[in-house]
Amino acid sequence: MDKEPAGSLCSEPSDSDKPMPGKCREVSLDGCRKIGSGQKGTVYRYGNELILKVYDIINTYRDVEREIALSRRAFVLGIPTAISFGIVSLGDRYGAMYELLGSETLSACIANNPSGLDYYAGVMAKLARTIHSTEAKEKDCFPDARDRFRAYITNGLARCDRELADRCCELIDGMQATRFLIHGDFHTSNVFLHKTEALAIDMDRLSTGDPIFELGDMNYYFDKGKGKDPEDTDPYLGISYRICREFLNLFMRHYLQTQDEARLREVTDRAALLGDLRRINRYWKAGALTEETQSKVDRLIVEMKKLLERVDSLDVIRQKQK
């Protein structure tokens, strides 16, 4: 999978894609059991207390160092997450050691017990509120989520509909800067449930921004499978498309702490617009559209135009204060 722009970190830990000679301990995967996989790599259990996240070859030493730096900052700021123990190398790949979370991801909890969906949505919403009320210090210099979405526009929508792209850019430019955090990749395979507490992992998109960006990412992950059988399983989350959509709906109610349909519609429309920007960016990652992806993009553009008849700003926070 292609990488997305990493964004900036003020005190970038290293300026090289390779470690200093001798800086990185070489380890072996002999006897290690695979326990998970994600967008960047494969995760193995390493002894009784650690996991080893082995990054796909496209990830450089600097990428791994950056993810560890972000998860350490998150930990220091009080966001519940796994403790990180540094970088190792495995031949031509790099790995990161983390504390083993001896519990299940929310994706697994939902797949095993769909009747608990409302409870899991509430737990995830509580974690989102914790992250979104965490304020970074100026010196922390997290990337700005607005830049990630601007990049989605430049690399995706702007290549097929300039006018619509300009309108979306205007909406993002009209948003306030904030030092409050968002996770940046907030889905149920990146959240663990430990007893009654949720913990977030996979911190490499931790950034500052209005929570609408988080909700836009959630729209991207949970509002999918259109045109497919709703009972089919989403291969990434391991949950059916129908349950993914129900989860998103319940999550929004818990997160916004409202049952007011007009308010829910307003925020859901904004999130859908951002989710569509990310979808179109993904289709363009191959470098060009195929006949199939072109027709998907065309459908998304029609959807976005309808959304823009109702959406005239994006922030969730500023709206709430009206």
Ligand X SMILES: Nc1ncnc2c1ncn2[C@@H]1O[C@H](COP(=O)(O)OP(=O)(O)O)[C@@H](O)[C@H]1O
Q: Enumerate residues 111-130 that contact Mg ion by CB under 5 A.
A: none
Residue 184 interacts with ligand X (CB under 6 A): yes or no: no
Residue 212 interacts with ligand X (CB under 6 A): yes or no: no
Q: 3-state secondary structure string, the chain?
A: CCCCCCCCCCCCCCCCCCCCCCCCEECCCCCCCEEEECCCEEEEEECCCEEEEEECCCCCHHHHHHHHHHHHHHHHCCCCECCEEEEEEECCEEEEEEECCCCEEHHHHHHHCHHHHHHHHHHHHHHHHHHHCCECCHHHCCCEHHHHHHHHHHHCHHHCCHHHHHHHHHHHHCCCCCCEEECCCCCHHHEEEECCEEEECCCCCCEECCCHHHHHHHHHHHCCCCCCCCCCECCCCCCEHHHHHHHHHHHHHHHHCCCCHHHHHHHHHHHHHHHHHHHHHHHHCCCCCCHHHHHHHHHHHHHHHHHHHHCCCCCCHHHHCC
Residue 60 interacts with ligand X (CB under 6 A): yes or no: no
Among 190, 208, 219, 268, binds Mg ion (CB under 5 A): 190
Residue 43 interacts with ligand X (CB under 6 A): yes or no: yes
Residue 39 interacts with ligand X (CB under 6 A): yes or no: yes
Residue 98 interacts with ligand X (CB under 6 A): yes or no: yes
Among 38, 80, 122, 238, binds Mg ion (CB under 5 A): 38
Q: Which stretch binds ligand X (CB under 6 A): 10-18, 23-31, 33-41, 119-127?
A: 33-41
Q: Which stretch binds ligand X (CB under 6 A): 31-39, 226-234, 238-246, 266-274?
A: 31-39
Residue 67 interacts with Mg ion (CB under 5 A): yes or no: no
Q: Which residues bind ligand X (CB under 6 A)?
A: 35-41, 43, 51, 53, 82, 98-101, 105, 189-190, 201-202
Q: Which residues bind Mg ion (CB under 5 A)?
A: 38, 190, 202
